[in-house]
Structure 1
Amino acid sequence: MKYNEISHFSHPQHKLKFEHIEVPFKCDGCKEVGIGSRYKCSTCDFDLHMHCALPTPTLTHPFYTKCSFQFLPKPPGDTPRFCNACEKDVLGFVYHCKPCGFDLHPCCAKLPMMLDDGEVKLYLYRKVSSSCLRCGRKGRSWSYRSTCKRYNLHVACVKEMLVESWHEIYFRRNNNSTNNYYNGSRRLETRIPSLQGTLQTHHNRGKGKVKKCGEMAGLAVQIVIAAVLGDPTSLIAGVIGLLLSRA
């Protein structure tokens, strides 16, 4: 369910308004990167993912059939915690199973079990035996794998690509003027550096095959990035397409 304006316990000063702008942001709830749909307070520059703004009080997950996850505004206890889906630190809003001690970022907890844009279908697995397109390793975190089993990408690797580029994305955006931003600098600001080359290193049997595989792998990555950033209903092609533009 989507509301154009909401009140939220994490920001009682002002109401938050729904907006969809194709610019990266950092969620002030879970402290993770987001893009596209969000709830925002323009006065305070306060942003929340959809999943953080309208959380489910309790949820279950197919990977943890015996668990009941409770939504919490901050990690429980005093020890550092990490997300069991992406292996990244939990620094804000979290879904926590007290008996088992498992934690999930809100966006990770709501990752679709299947992503389909009409050309590529990817299914979410807790672990797969295939090598990741980005790191070349097997196992590790949750992964999305295509039905043909040729394209596999760790959720953790997508997060790492975003974290590695966040400094560049954020500071380029803030150091450029608004006019320059909307007149073309945004093509630089929303790019994940060297992503295209990274994907192609694992598929180098021939120029034609490399090109085709790179295109399909790139499409798979676009779908996964949209989901991990908290907006799986939109590929946000105008932005995500640029992530593969650097040769």
Structure 2
Amino acid sequence: MRYGELITHFSHPQHKLRFEYVEVPFKCDGCKEVGIGSRYKCSTCDFDLHMHCALPSASINHPFYHKCSFQFLRRPPGNTPRFCNACEKDVTGFVYHCNLCGFDLHPCCAKLPQMLDDGEVKLFLYRKVGGAPCLGIFVSAACHRCGRKGRSWSYRSPCKKYNLHVACVKEMLVESWHELYFGHGGGTTKNKKLETRIPSLKGTLQNHHRSKSKVKKCCEMAGLAVQFIISAVLGDPSAIIAGVVGTLMSK
């Protein structure tokens, strides 16, 4: 993909979509989920797609579901409400669906990297906090956000200090960006800066350390971990989220 590249997409045949990079959140018109970073956009209609929604695979397999074959669908099958098995959030648009098991995955959830690594922090994707990635081995670990071990897919560091459910990350984003998607604030630049501020986990991390220096260091490392996880959940693990680096966890 090259910056400015144009594509034609079945969901928006009237105009071509241009590849670009943005550091403010957008709502994908394909899967209806939040995105950031790389996207395909129609400037005429203000139509946006995640990369994974703009260039989907017809079918995929996933290491967490060895017996499943997921097919890409423009809308969820049937008339009953469906949810994503990765993040537990509603499926209302593009989806990967397994006819055999009935499992559903948002396109970005289906393409979450098994490992995030920037040279300092490594995070591994687990089907459940408490289990080993792609294996049936279980060890003690709890999500920093909710304190639970079960629930949705999770990212965890090898040292087990940093654990976050994919579902909890999405809840954090919804809390931060509520005004953006429910019509309050008018979408001005000032409001967007406020809405890209991610809630701090400092309070939960303080429960693990009494020393202020350890809390600060833990917060700094957790801030990096959260940044990588948020970028991955929003469809672009390489994205640099404005205002997050260096300030997310330490304040």
Same fold (TM over 0.5): yes
Displacement of 1:205 in angstroms is: 2.0
**Cα distance per residue 1:90-147 (max 9 Å; x no partner):** 0100000001000000000000000001110000010122110111111111011101
1:144 is aligned to: 155
Task: Judging by fraction of residues, say which structure has more helix.
Answer: 1
Distance change in 2, residues 1:47/1:198 (3 Å): farther
1:25 is aligned to: 26
Aligned to 1:158, the other structure's residue is in SS state: helix
Question: What is the rounded CA distance, in whole Å, between the counterparts of 2:238 and 2:164 in structure 1?
Answer: 19
Amino acid at match of 2:197: R
8 Å CA contact 2:220–2:246 kept in 1: the answer is no
Question: What is the rounded CA distance, in whole Å, between the counterparts of 2:244 and 2:70 in structure 1?
Answer: 31
* Residue from 165, 168, 176 that aligns with 2:179: 168
Displacement of 1:233 in angstroms is: 2.5
**Cα distance per residue 1:202-247 (max 9 Å; x no partner):** 434221111111111111101100100000123x143433771683
Distance change in 2, residues 1:100/1:185 (3 Å): closer
1:244 is aligned to: 248
Task: Mark the runs of 5 or more structure 2 residues left unpaired by the alignment.
Answer: 131-140
8 Å CA contact 1:40–1:48 kept in 2: the answer is yes
**Cα distance per residue 1:137-169 (max 9 Å; x no partner):** 111110111011111110000011111222234
The answer to whether 1:190 aligns with 2:196 is yes
Q: How many residues align?
A: 239
* CA RMSD in angstroms, aligned pairs only: 2.0
8 Å CA contact 2:27–2:48 kept in 1: the answer is yes
TM-score by length of 1: 0.90
Distance change in 2, residues 1:64/1:218 (3 Å): same
8 Å CA contact 2:24–2:37 kept in 1: the answer is yes
TM-score by length of 2: 0.88
1:211 is aligned to: 216
Q: How does 1:13-162 map to 2 (within 5 A)?
A: 13-129=14-130, 130-162=141-173
**Percent identity between the aligned chains?**
72
Amino acid at match of 1:156: A
Task: Mark the runs of 5 or more structure 1 residues left unpaired by the alignment.
Answer: none
Aligned to 1:115, the other structure's residue is in SS state: strand
Question: What is the rounded CA distance, in whole Å, between the counterparts of 1:112 and 1:18 in structure 2?
Answer: 21
Question: What is the rounded CA distance, in whole Å, between the counterparts of 1:11 and 1:21 in structure 2?
Answer: 20
